[in-house]
Structure 1
Amino acid sequence: MLTEEVRNYLLTSVFNAAVRAGGAIMQIYKHRDDYDVTLKSDRTPITVADRAAHRTIREYLGQTRIPILSEEGREMGYDERCNWEMFWLVDPLDGTVEFIKGNNEFTVNIALMEDNRSVASVIYVPYLQKMYFAARGFGAFLKEHVAPDETAAYSAEGIMQGAGRLPFVALPKGRLRVAVSRSHQTAETAAHINALRGRYPDLEVVEQGSSYKFCMLAEGSVNYYVRTTHTYEWDTAAGELILAEAGGVTRALPDDGELKYNKENLQNPWFVCRGRGLDLD
Structure 2
Amino acid sequence: MLLDKIKKMAPVNIRLNPFGAVILTICIACGIIYNFGLLNWFQKEERICMKELLSVSIELARRGGRKVLEVREKNALTAKVKGFTKEGAAELKTLGDMESHRAILYGMAKAFPGLKVISEEHETKPVDFHNIEDTAKQREDVNKEIKSDQRIPLNQIVVWIDPLDATQEYTEDLRQYVTTMVCVAVNGDPTIGVIHSPFDDQTYWAWVSYGHSSNLKPLEKVQLSNEKPTQIIVSRSHPGKVVDVIKKAFGENTVVVEAGGAGYKALNVVKGLSNAYVHTTAIKKWDICAGNAILNALNGKMTTLNGDYIDYSSKDNVQNDKGLLATMQYHYHYLEHLEPLAKQLEKKT
The answer, yes or no, to whether TM exceeds 0.5 is yes
Closer/same/farther in 2, CA of residues 224 and 110 from structure 1, 3 Å limit: same
Q: Match for residue 40 of structure 1?
A: 82
Query: Residues 194 and 38 of structure 1: is their aligned pair in 2 closer, same or farther, counting only changes over 3 Å?
Result: same
Match in the other structure for 2:232: 178
1:16 paired residue number? 59
SS at match of 2:295: helix
Partner residue in 2 for 1:227: 279
Are 2:184 and 2:193, in contact at CA under 8 Å, matched by a contact in 1? yes
Match of residue 68 from structure 1: 117
**Unpaired runs of at least 5, structure 1:** 76-82, 142-162
Q: Given the two structures, how large is their TM-score scaled by the length of structure 1?
A: 0.79
Q: Is the 8 Å Cα contact of residues 204 and 216 (structure 2) preserved in structure 1?
A: no
1:278 Cα offset (Å): 5.5
TM-score, normalised by the number of residues in structure 2: 0.65
1:252–1:126 Cα change, 3 Å = same
2:275 counterpart of 1:204: no
In structure 2, the residue corresponding to 1:10 is in which secondary structure? helix
Q: Which residue number in structure 1 is paired with residue 303 of structure 2?
A: 251
Determine which of 326, 331, 346 is the counterpart of 1:273: 326
> How far is 1:219 from its partner?
1.2
Shift of 1:113: 1.7
The equivalent position to 2:291 in structure 1, one of 202, 214, 239, is 239
Mapped contact 1:170–1:221 kept (Cα < 8 A):
no
**Map of 2:74 onto structure 1:** 31
In structure 1, how many angstroms separate the alpha carbons of the residues matched to 2:215 and 2:221? 15
Is contact 2:120–2:163 with CA below 8 Å preserved after alignment?
yes
State whether structure 2 residue 157 is matched by structure 1 residue 86. yes
Change (3 A) 1:218 1:87: same
Q: CA deviation at 1:126?
A: 0.8
* Cα distance change of structure 1 residues 192 and 139 upon mapping to structure 2, 3 Å threshold: farther
User: Corresponding residue for 1:194?
Assistant: 247
Q: Supply the distance in 2 between the matched residues of 1:46 and 1:125 (Cα, whole angstroms).
A: 18
Which structure 1 residue ranges, 4+ long, deviate > 6 Å from structure 2? Answer: 169-172
Asked if 1:216 corresponds to 2:268, the answer is: yes
Q: Which has the higher contact order (CA 8 A, sep 6+)?
A: 1
Contact 2:301–2:328 (CA under 8 A) maintained in structure 1: yes
CA RMSD of aligned residues (A): 2.3
**Amino acid in the other structure paired with 2:184:** L
Q: Please give the alpha-carbon distance, in whole angstroms, between the structure 2 residues aligned to 1:168 and 1:39.
A: 40
Ranges in structure 2 where 5+ consecutive residues have no aligned partner: 1-47, 85-89, 125-153, 337-349
Pick the aligned partner of 1:55 from 102, 113, 116.
Answer: 102
